[in-house]
Amino acid sequence: MKISLDSRDRELPSNRSAVRVPSSPILLVHAAQLLTLRGDSGARRGAQLRELAIIEDGAVLTADGKIVAVEATDQVSRHELARNAEEIDCSHNVVLPGFVDSHTHPAFTTPRLIDFEKRIDGASYEDIAAAGGGIRSSLRGVRESSRDELTSHIVGALEEMAVHGTTTAEAKSGYGLSVEAELKSLEAVREAARQWPGTVVPTLLGAHVVPPEFHDNREEYVRIVCEEMMPAAAKGNLAEFVDVFCERGAFTMEQAQRILRTAVRHQLGVRAHVCQLTPADLGSLLEFHPASLDHMDFVRDEDIAALAKADTVATLLPAANYFLGLQSFPPARKLIDSGVAVALATDYNPGTAPTTSMPFVLSAACTHMKMSPAEAISAATYNGACALRLQSRKGSLEAGKDADIAIFDATDYRELSYWFGVNRCRQSIAKGTWGSGR
């Protein structure tokens, strides 16, 4: 059965609340470049980031949500399951693993346009926060929304991500900042995950900032995060990770350690926002074996060697630097050349990175952080999967892994970070199910 991508577009279900089941076997053939990224078991470092394991005239066969075969087209076409598969010609396409966006904040309701204008007029991130803008200004929207309203905002963001080639997304709470509103946010993330064919990894970010009602008693808020919020999230199976914003104006290193220690006790994975605005002692966080440390703009030289030896991924978020109009970007070259495992993610959020586009992030990584196009792709797929500890299922095209695939309207992988401000993702496939196309 042969169908074109264009005719397939029109058949896609538009009902957002539909429960989708994996479609019949799919056979992608004649890919101009099939980027398999196969061959690793740990996060990619140094020169490994440039190895995309490309097959020209490549094919991928999927069935029951999994990848069955990945090889040259003439080999895969002979597979028994290929006979009944939907066959898609990809001769004008680059085919790669779906992006793993390992750092996003989708549980919010409204854009922050006043902050946006203030910043254009010269206010800094911290000026805006001090004037009651920033993260705290998203609180009211989330606290006053129903779970269903929040869910529909999150689903909208996830669908937009899929349009840009993302098939796995981490999703943080963090704009409720009360036990009730954080749990509601995580429930909305869970419900949104049910409505999206891709994979969602929920993270509790109750320790985003201290909410205004605890300004004079910040310790009490940390106690609530540790003794009320986290146990409830763990008991309800609502989060896989706990995150903390360890930064001047947010949480101190000592508070961050207490929060992560409690998370480990609840058998939750840990990650942290750190070194976005100021340097920090990363050794104090590495002792908790975080899956990732994110931002890292101000990482200290003395911490880089320790990071290179750790399992922890450094997740870089250049869309935030772009949107804040900063001249400096995270030191990707220094990290990569020192052997640190680096991932790229959007940081999708209403204050500093209102974008769901991983291709935009690739562009920013290449132009502003001097990552090569190949390094950027590895960082946005395989190493993103490592940042979520999902590399056994995600991040490369290999038999047995989830059928998470992005199809780009390009014939050379370097085009993915070359074109910007336009979307050249033609279609994504998540667990063998057609996602949104452009």
Q: Residue 46 or residue 249: which is nearer to Zn ion going by CB?
A: 249
Q: Residue 347 or residue 375: which is nearer to Zn ion going by CB?
A: 347
The mark string for 114-153 relative to Zn ion (x by CB under 5 A, - otherwise) is ----------------------------------------
Residues 273-292 that bind Zn ion (CB under 5 A): none
Q: What spatial distance separates the first Cα and last Cα of the chain, rounded to whole Å?
A: 23
Size of residue set near Zn ion by CB under 5 A: 1
User: Least separation, in Å, of the C-beta of 36 and Zn ion?
Assistant: 30
User: Least separation, in Å, of the C-beta of 94 and Zn ion?
Assistant: 29
Q: Residue 175 or residue 413: which is nearer to Zn ion going by CB?
A: 175
Among 340, 356, 354, 359, which residue's Cα sits nearest to residue 420? 359
Q: Where are the beta strands (DSSP E) in 299-416?
A: 313-316, 342-344, 405-408
Q: Taking the CB of residue 247, how many other CB atoms lie within 10 A of it?
A: 22
**What span, in angstroms and rounded, lies between the C-alpha atoms of 232 and 180?**
10
**What span, in angstroms and rounded, lies between the C-alpha atoms of 286 and 195?**
35
SS3 content of the chain, % helix, strand, coil (to 5): 40, 20, 40
**What span, in angstroms and rounded, lies between the C-alpha atoms of 167 and 392?**
15
User: Least separation, in Å, of the C-beta of 273 and Zn ion?
Assistant: 5
Under the criterion CB under 5 A, does residue 101 sit at the interface with Zn ion?
no
Under the criterion CB under 5 A, does residue 247 sit at the interface with Zn ion?
no
Residues 378-437 that bind Zn ion (CB under 5 A): none
Under the criterion CB under 5 A, does residue 170 sit at the interface with Zn ion?
no
The mark string for 338-367 relative to Zn ion (x by CB under 5 A, - otherwise) is ---------x--------------------
Under the criterion CB under 5 A, does residue 87 sit at the interface with Zn ion?
no
User: Least separation, in Å, of the C-beta of 208 and Zn ion?
Assistant: 8
Helices (H), 357-400: 358-369, 373-380, 382-387
Q: Residue 60 or residue 296: which is nearer to Zn ion going by CB?
A: 296
Among 198, 309, 211, 209, which residue's Cα sits nearest to residue 255? 209
Under the criterion CB under 5 A, does residue 297 sit at the interface with Zn ion?
no
Q: Residue 273 or residue 426: which is nearer to Zn ion going by CB?
A: 273
The residue with its CB nearest to Zn ion is 347
**What span, in angstroms and rounded, lies between the C-alpha atoms of 271 and 258?**
13
User: Is 62 in a helix, a strand, or coil?
Assistant: strand
Q: Which residues bind Zn ion (CB under 5 A)?
A: 347
